[in-house]
Amino acid sequence: MIKPHGSDQLNPLFVYDTDEHAKLTHEAQSLPSIVVSSATAANAVMMGSGYFNPLTGYMTKADALSVANTMTTSSGLFWPTPVMNLVADAGSIKVGDRIALKDPNVEGNPVVAIQNVESVETFTDEEMATITQKVYGTQDPEHPGVAAFNSQGKTCLSGPIQVLNFSYFQTDFPDTFRTAVEIRNEIAERGWKKVVAFQTRNPMHLAHEELCHMAMDRLGCDGLVIHMLLGKLKKGDIPADVRDAAIRKMVELYFPPNSAMVTGYGFDMLYAGPREAVLHAVFRQNMGATHFIIGRDHAGVGDYYGAFEAQEIFDGIPAGTLEIEIFRADHTAWSKKLNKVVMMNEAPDHAKEDFVLLSGTKVREMLGNGIAPPKEFSRPEVAEILIKYYQSLNG
């Protein structure tokens, strides 16, 4: 199986030993504690799950700036986005403290991790602006990722962590949330050697489904891992439970047995376009995928990124840095001429009107009115699930 990024073995930071877990849970009660940001909690979940291998904790100021500027830490580890515990006010927390990190997203704020504080450092406004610009490609406060990043505070608490739970992801999505460890184990159990991963934060329409089939066929893959984001999204995105139901229905009806896994991971979307595409590739390698589909405007939002920037960024990564391979996809749509879904760049003799193209706004409007999009756009069984959701919003 493909090696994880940065080490020979996956090193998840979740404390699996039950005695040690009980001991740390007890210790956490007497430690100084802070309720962390949603992003910090999600970073802990990703480190606990093994997706952020080989990180051992939150980055220092020097590492975060180095990653923003060069996509490597001070020690030379390739990493595309800073992974930090940012706070507005560190209070009396000092170097050498052990602190309990409390979850902002779960009632009662349970402890998500314990951190050894190795440094307490504050970014200047200029340094925050530099990180924002380098990672997100913009400083526009209207960008949801920029807004979330800059709302956390400017003081950075760095140091290793021990993760005690997976926040709300395991309890709210027991059938879907999987750690990188669990996905690797399942890939091995299924006997898959070549595995392609597909990232989604939306339900999958026919074009997405066909893109997955295309990638599997062209790459000669044994399996597909549909890997959906279960964390915080922007306003208007479809909730994870609805997406999950729609995707499971599609896989059940339109994929051969033992060819696709439906799974999810606990992270808040950054909407960082190209940088986030690279991060997605890193953690797909960590979960055992050999290939990863990256389409147009992957992980983007609005008009902040060029259509293929999320693919082009990989051209600048030194060979051998990542073992996972990228499957570069164009926009896919139903061709009226050919009576099938095609990649639009592979149909040069087509004009726009030769494709079935619907805007997201138009699709939402149709679903809200109880109208299924055309069969060339969406599977009827998937549309039915989405219609129920949109009509529930209309009361």
Write down the pTM of the prediction: 0.94
Q: Residue 88 in contact with residue 157, Cβ under 8 Å?
A: no
* Listed residue (293, 282, 361, 385) closest to 330, CA to CA: 293
Res 266: pLDDT: 94
Count of CB atoms within 10 A of residue 118's CB? 15
Classify domain 18-170 by CATH architecture: Roll (3.10)
CB-CB contact of 76 with 140 (8 Å): no
Give the model's pLDDT for residue 233.
66
Model confidence pLDDT, tens digit, residues 12-49: 999 999 999 999 999 999 999 999 999 999 999 999 99
Summarised one tens digit per residue, pLDDT across range 362-389 is 888 888 889 999 999 999 999 999 999 9
DSSP conformation letters of 315-343: GGSPTTS--SEEEE---EEEETTTTEEEE
Has 248 been annotated as catalytic? no
Amino acid identity, position 238:
I
The answer on pLDDT for 360 being more than 80 is: no
> Tell me: the pLDDT tens digits for 110-152?
999 999 999 999 999 999 999 999 999 999 999 999 999 999 9
| Lookup result for tokens 């997100």 | 136
Rounded CA-CA distance 95/44 in Å is 20
pLDDT for residue 372: 92
Query: Which one is catalytic: 98, 201, 248, 364?
Result: 201
What does the pLDDT read at residue 234?
Answer: 65
**Is 275 among the residues known to form the active site?**
no
pLDDT tens digits, residue range 217-251? Answer: 999 999 999 999 988 666 677 888 898 999 999 99
How is the chain split into domains, by residue range?
18-170, 174-393
Q: 202, 284, 286, 339: which one is catalytic? A: 202
Could you give the CA distance from residue 230 to residue 247 in angstroms, rounded to a whole number? 13
Q: What class, spelled out in words, does domain 174-393 have in CATH?
A: alpha beta
- Asked if the model's pLDDT at residue 395 lies above 70, the reply is no
Query: What would the pLDDT profile of 69-120 be if each residue is shown by its tens digit?
Result: 999 999 999 999 999 999 999 999 999 999 999 999 999 999 999 999 999 9
SS3 116: strand
pLDDT at 177 over 90: yes
